[in-house]
Amino acid sequence: MKKSNTTIVLVIALILTSFTSCSTDDGGGDGSAAFGTLTAKIDGSSYKSMGISSSATVANAGSVINLVIIASNSDGNAFAMTIFGYSGTGTYEFTGANIAVTNVASYTETNVNLSNPTASTTEIWQAPYDDTLVGSITISEETDTKVIGTFEFKCKNVNGDSSIKDVTSGAFNLNKQTT
């Protein structure tokens, strides 16, 4: 009987451990992303970048510091965001109201035609696309090695069909580079 009780306790412990140690959450739903990635919803569809092709670069352009975020996935879809006059943690708007300092964001979809590569297409949705406020990016943490934040914006296919995409629940936790 003692051996049966020990076995039952062991089985229960293993079951409890498996429920508490496993998670299928890949980030983004709660405003966070796994290290090295950018997550978002584009018109309600989930997006997650690859760590190998995602980074945040703090670039010193003389007297102005800029933050450039680049992230792409294996489907050929990518985000690019630039904050001009970056000064650390805080919220930065995507608006065309101040032409002197316009932070920009874009979402790109590339469709590769493997049977005829010259027939491949790339569509780019840009923000801002007029003088209104279309979104923002918030940098919540910056260290020597990473930049963490959230974002959302509406973007327009200005050179294509003029469609608008709604980017929501954006989050990133990216490796930081400095130039």
Inter-residue contact 78 to 70 (CB < 8 Å) = yes
What is d(CA 46, CA 167) in angstroms, rounded to the nearest whole number? Answer: 10
Candidates 128, 121, 177, 175; CA nearest to 154 is 128
Confidence of residue 4 (pLDDT cuts 50, 70, 90): very low
Model pLDDT, residue 19: 31
* Structure-model confidence comparison of residues 12 and 163, the more confident one: 163
Residue 8 has pLDDT above 80, yes or no: no
Model pLDDT, residue 31: 59
Residue 1 has pLDDT above 60, yes or no: no
Average pLDDT over every residue of 15-20:
31
Q: Regarding beta strands 77-83 and 64-72, do their DSSP bridges make them parallel or antiparallel, or are they unpaired?
A: antiparallel
Average pLDDT over every residue of 48-54:
95
What is d(CA 46, CA 118) in angstroms, rounded to the nearest whole number? Answer: 28
Residue 24 has pLDDT above 90, yes or no: no
Average pLDDT over every residue of 153-175:
96
Average pLDDT over every residue of 125-151:
96
Residue 171 has pLDDT above 50, yes or no: yes
Annotate 84-139 with DSSP letters as a single string.
TT--SSEEEEEESS-TTS--EEEEEEEE--TT-GGG-EEEEEEE--SSSEEEEEEE
Model pLDDT, residue 12: 36
Model pLDDT, residue 6: 37
Confidence of residue 27 (pLDDT cuts 50, 70, 90): very low
Model pLDDT, residue 32: 83
Residue-averaged pLDDT of the chain = 84
Residue 116 has pLDDT above 60, yes or no: yes
Phi-psi region of 59 (alpha: psi -120 to 50; beta: other; left: phi over 0): beta
